[in-house]
Amino acid sequence: MPKKSFGAYLLLILLIVLASTFLIVNTSKAQSTYSTPLATQTPEALLSIFSFSKLPTRIFTFNIAPSNIINILFAKQIQEQLKKCDCTNTKLKITLNRKTYSYPLTLILPRCISTNSQILDDNCLLTFIKQTELYKKYNKASYELTNKKDQKVTILGGDIQLDTNSLIADTREQLTAMILKQIPTSKTISIKAKLSNLLPNTDGTFANRYLEADGSRQLIFYWEDGKYRVFHMSGAYKYWNPVGIHQFFYKSENAWSKYTGVWMPYWMAFAKDPNQDNALLGVHGLIYWCPNHKYDCEPDKYIYENKANIGIPRSKGCLRLRNDDIIFLYNKIQIGDYIIVHD
pLDDT digits (tens, 9 = 90+) for 223-278: 999 899 999 999 999 889 999 999 999 999 999 998 889 999 999 999 999 888 88
Tell whether the model's pLDDT for residue 44 goes beyond 70: no
Phi then psi for residue 275, to 5 deg, are -80, -10
To the nearest whole percent, how much of the chain has pLDDT over 90?
45
Mean pLDDT lowest among 78-92, 123-137, 168-182, 307-321: 78-92
pLDDT at residue 52 in the model:
33
Query: pLDDT averaged over the chain?
Result: 79
Q: What is residue 182's predicted lDDT score, i.e. its pLDDT?
A: 59
3-state secondary structure of 50: coil
Compute the distance between CA of residue 11 and CA of residue 174 in angstroms, rounded to an integer. 45
User: Where do the structural domains in the chain lie, given as residue ranges?
Assistant: 3-83, 91-139+161-196, 209-342
Check residue 10 and give its pLDDT: 63
pLDDT attached to residue 306: 94
CA neighbor of 45 nearest in space, from 117, 120, 122, 121: 117
CATH architecture type of domain 209-342: Beta Barrel (2.40)
